[in-house]
Amino acid sequence: MASFLKSKKVLIYLSYLVYFVILGFLLRSVFLSGYYYRLNADEVYHSNLVYLMLKGFRPYADFYSTYSPFLQLYLMPVFLLFGATLKAISASRILMIILYLLQICLMFLLVKRVFGKKVALLFVPLYLMDPFMVFVGMQIRPENLMMVFYLLFLLSFSYAYENAKSTKFYFLSGILFALTLLMNLKILPSLIAFAGVFIIYVFKNKLFRQLLIFTNGFCLTFFIFFAYFLLAGYLPDMFQGLFIDPYTLNNSIPNATWLGYFYFQNPVIFGIDGKPLNWIYAWLLPVLAFTGGYAAINNSSDSDGIKKNIMKIILLLSLFLQWVSMLFINSVFIQYYIPLNWFYSVFTAYFIYHLVNRLDETKLLQNVAVGVLLIFFILVYHASVQGNIARSKMSDDPIVKEMNEFWRIVPENAPAFPNIPFRVPIYPVLWGSTFAPYLRDRFTPVYPAIEKNRLAVLTGLTDEFFSNLDTKSQQYILTNYQRDSTNNYIWKRKDLKN
């Protein structure tokens, strides 16, 4: 018996060793993809906000933004160290990779608390193989910091309701709930799901003192945030930019990106041409997730206790509302999948675990199911690693080439329009922003600012940007500037041509 137990322990240790070795190779490919993949325009845009804030420009008042400045505060040390350079952007990628790794750790801890250790161990590789999250999960985006706040909030709440007498976790949960909401409204459906379940839970268990403490943490965070902008003198600008403009701007985008747009074959996202297995995996995840969500609720019983079921309900309702909300968004950019796709991996992991356990009575059927699943995920694993490595070697970076050309034309600290990264803006809508007709109507025409600064050249002026300008500014530009013969994005002033 002792030798049997000893051999069983050895087998378990070997299984863990194999698991972590396989996971290590996958993580390595993920990090290579995250660090070396060519820049996205949004990343340069968010990096530019750090530069502008360090130069004393005020978000919402001096330049247009629909994001809280928390990400820029997080990245500021890098720009203080490297200056406004491409090196600073590369170093920022490292900080985002750290956030990505932190997210995975927090997700693992949360899934382990809710569904158990085995489901959590299954979840990690499933999440790492999701091509959507590998593509955007390490990019310089505020949504990735938002996810850290959100996961910390869920973990804090899971400790709060298990220790109802310990009010500090309810207070901390209120603070983290507020920080998550302030980061970005894309997470709002998940927060609404939590709020609905939490209110029912409070009234059912008469936890009104805990609700008050939670509300105190929430209100204190909002009070400090609003008080800062009130004292700074531009609270209305912040409120409109953060809470009103995201919806209005999204609805005014003329060329909308529909739900499912990114699921078409795309080597930029999947790393491989055609329809590789990681593309098929991306299509399967939502189906498996909703099946797993049904199994999680159907498999729950009163013996589990309300304290265990409440987190399952919160996560499943969050998955549902986050997914449904995508149907009503005018333009679904890929970053909208960040608060959604991790639910896919959670409930897919539960579905696999539940399926294998249900077949426990028929060992042959269970072994066949495990074998088929194992073969499929080994193939997906190979496709994911292959796609990650290929993505990391896409060295031709058009944005870097374009930025270097613009920086050569416009001296440092010189004004520019349309604003290019790491140069002084003369118009609130920055390079990389979504410039829709709503923004044109919100701000004054740009042509007086161009004339005042007597700009010798307009850099990055695309046909789309130009077409969204007001009529007077368009006419002013056509009268005083002409396109460069070698680059259609550059317009040179006619009276300074020679």
Q: What is the pLDDT of residue 495?
A: 78
Query: What is the per-residue pLDDT across 105-143, written as a single tens digit (0 to 9) for each?
Result: 999 999 999 999 999 999 999 999 999 999 999 999 999
- 356 to 112, 350, 364, 366: CA distances (angstroms): 18, 10, 11, 6
Q: Indicate the range of 164-168, 249-253, 293-297 predicted with least confidence.
A: 164-168
Q: Is the pLDDT of residue 306 over 60?
A: no
Helix or strand (DSSP H, E) at 491: strand 490-493
User: Is the CB of residue 114 less than 8 Å from the CB of residue 312?
Assistant: yes
**What's the CA gap between 185 and 163, in Å, rounded?**
30
Rounded to an integer, the average pLDDT of 411-429 is 89
Could you tell me which of 485, 491, 466, 474 has the C-alpha nearest to residue 406?
491
Q: What is the pLDDT of residue 40?
A: 86
CA dihedral of 380, 382, 385, 387, whole degrees rounded to 10: -70
How many angstroms separate the first and last alpha carbons of the chain? 94
Strand ordering across the sheet containing 481-483? 457-459, 490-493, 481-483
Handedness of CA 398, 402, 407, 408 (dihedral sign): positive
Q: What is the pLDDT of residue 302?
A: 47
Q: Is 148 exposed, middle or buried (0-12, 13-18, 19+ CB in 10 A)?
A: buried
- Kindly indicate the confidence band of residue 6, based on its pLDDT and cuts at 50, 70 and 90: low
Q: Is the pLDDT of residue 174 over 70?
A: yes
Structure tokens given for 306: 């309300």
- In one-letter notation, the amino acid at residue 163 is N
- Kindly indicate the confidence band of residue 263, based on its pLDDT and cuts at 50, 70 and 90: very high
- 78 to 50, 70, 93, 143: CA distances (angstroms): 10, 14, 10, 19
267/146: higher pLDDT? 146
Q: Is the pLDDT of residue 4 over 80?
A: no
Q: Indicate the range of 217-231, 290-304, 394-408 predicted with least confidence.
A: 290-304
Q: What is the pLDDT of residue 226?
A: 97
Helix, strand or coil for residue 124? helix
Residue 415 backbone phi and psi in degrees, to 5: -70, 150
Task: Delimit the domains of the chain by residue range.
Answer: 23-392, 398-496
Q: What stretches of 116-244 show up as alpha helix (H) in DSSP? A: 117-128, 131-136, 142-162, 167-183, 188-205, 208-232, 235-239
Percentage of residues in the chain with pLDDT exceeding 90?
67
Q: What is the pLDDT of residue 253?
A: 84
Query: What is the per-residue pLDDT across 12-32, written as a single tens digit (0 to 9) for each?
Result: 788 888 899 999 999 999 999
Provide the mean pLDDT of the chain: 90
Q: Is the pLDDT of residue 332 over 90?
A: yes
Could you tell me which of 231, 150, 227, 234 has the C-alpha nearest to residue 186?
150
Q: Is the pLDDT of residue 349 over 80?
A: yes
Structure tokens given for 189: 């459906």
Query: What is the per-residue pLDDT across 394-418, written as a single tens digit (0 to 9) for each?
Result: 876 788 888 888 899 898 888 999 8
DSSP state of 165: T
Rounded to an integer, the average pLDDT of 53-77 is 95
318/305: higher pLDDT? 318
- In one-letter notation, the amino acid at residue 95 is L
Helix or strand (DSSP H, E) at 424: strand 424-425
CA dihedral of 45, 46, 48, 51, whole degrees rounded to 10: 180
